[in-house]
C-alpha cells in the first residue's frame, strides 16, 4: 500500500477547499444576520439626551484637538433606501435616504447644531468590490469665525 497517492492529495485539497467555503459561507451568513439586527435597531432606536451629550463631548474634543470634523456614526450603505447611491454621488436629497434614527440624527443637527454654525455631511468610507461600503455621518465646523 503506498504511503501517499495523488488521489489522497486531491481528496485532501478538496476537503480543505470545502472547509474554507463552508467557513466563508458561515461568516457571510453571520455578517448578514448582524447587518439585519443593526438595521432593525436603527429603525427603532430613539436618540436620548445621553446620546446627544456624548456626541457634543466628541465634537468638543475633536475641536480642541484641532480637527475640522468628527464622525458620529459609521454604518453599512446597504441600509440606505438606495444603498448609498445619492450619498456617493452627492445628489440633492441624500438625507432622505437615511433610515430610522440616522434621519433623526440629521433632524437633531438641523434643529440644534446648524444654527450654531455646524455642518452635516455623509460620505462613503470604503468601496469593497468597487461598490459603496460603509458610510460615515460627520459634523463639521469652519477653520475660523467670520
In a domain, 112, yes or no: yes
Instruction: Give the number of domains in the chain.
Output: 2
Q: Domain check: are 52 and 4 in the same one? A: no
Q: Domain check: are 36 and 53 in the same one? A: no
Q: Domain check: are 120 and 73 in the same one? A: yes
Tell me the backbone φ, ψ of residue 73, rounded to 5 degrees.
-155, 150
What pTM, to 2 d.p., does this model score? 0.78
Q: Are 105 and 73 in contact (CB under 8 A)?
A: yes
Which pLDDT tens digits describe the chain residue by residue (146 residues)? 678 889 999 999 999 999 999 999 999 899 888 888 888 888 889 999 999 999 999 999 999 999 999 999 999 998 888 988 999 998 999 999 998 999 999 999 999 999 999 999 999 999 998 989 999 999 999 988 76
113's CB contacts (< 8 A; 6+ apart) are: 120, 139
Q: Domain check: are 69 and 112 in the same one? A: yes
Q: Domain check: are 116 and 74 in the same one? A: yes
Q: Domain check: are 37 and 52 in the same one? A: no
> Where is the domain boundary, 44, 60, 75?
44
Q: Domain check: are 27 and 12 in the same one? A: yes
Model pLDDT, residue 48: 94
In a domain, 146, yes or no: no
- Taking each helix axis from N to C end, the angle separating 100-108 and 6-44, rounded to the nearest 10 degrees, works out to 50
106's CB contacts (< 8 A; 6+ apart) are: 95, 98, 120, 137
CA nearest 69: which of 20, 27, 118? 118
Cell of residue 65, nine digits: 484637538
In a domain, 145, yes or no: no
In a domain, 20, yes or no: yes
Q: Which domain holds residue 107?
A: 48-140
Model pLDDT, residue 4: 87
Amino acid at each position: 500500500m503506498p504511503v501517499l497517492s495523488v488521489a489522497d492529495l486531491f481528496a485532501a485539497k478538496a476537503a480543505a477547499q470545502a472547509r474554507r467555503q463552508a467557513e466563508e459561507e458561515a461568516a457571510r451568513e453571520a455578517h448578514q444576520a448582524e447587518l439585519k439586527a443593526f438595521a432593525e435597531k436603527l429603525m427603532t432606536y430613539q436618540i436620548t439626551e445621553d446620546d446627544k451629550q456624548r456626541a457634543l463631548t466628541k465634537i468638543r474634543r475633536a475641536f480642541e484637538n484641532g480637527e475640522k470634523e468628527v464622525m458620529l456614526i459609521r454604518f453599512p450603505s446597504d441600509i440606505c433606501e438606495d444603498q448609498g447611491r445619492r450619498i456617493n454621488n452627492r445628489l440633492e436629497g441624500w438625507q432622505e435616504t437615511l433610515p430610522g434614527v440616522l434621519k433623526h440624527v440629521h433632524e437633531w443637527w438641523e434643529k440644534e447644531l446648524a444654527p450654531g454654525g455646524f455642518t452635516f455631511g455623509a460620505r462613503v468610507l470604503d468601496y469593497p468590490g468597487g461598490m459603496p461600503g460603509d458610510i460615515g455621518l460627520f459634523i463639521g465646523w469652519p477653520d475660523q469665525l467670520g
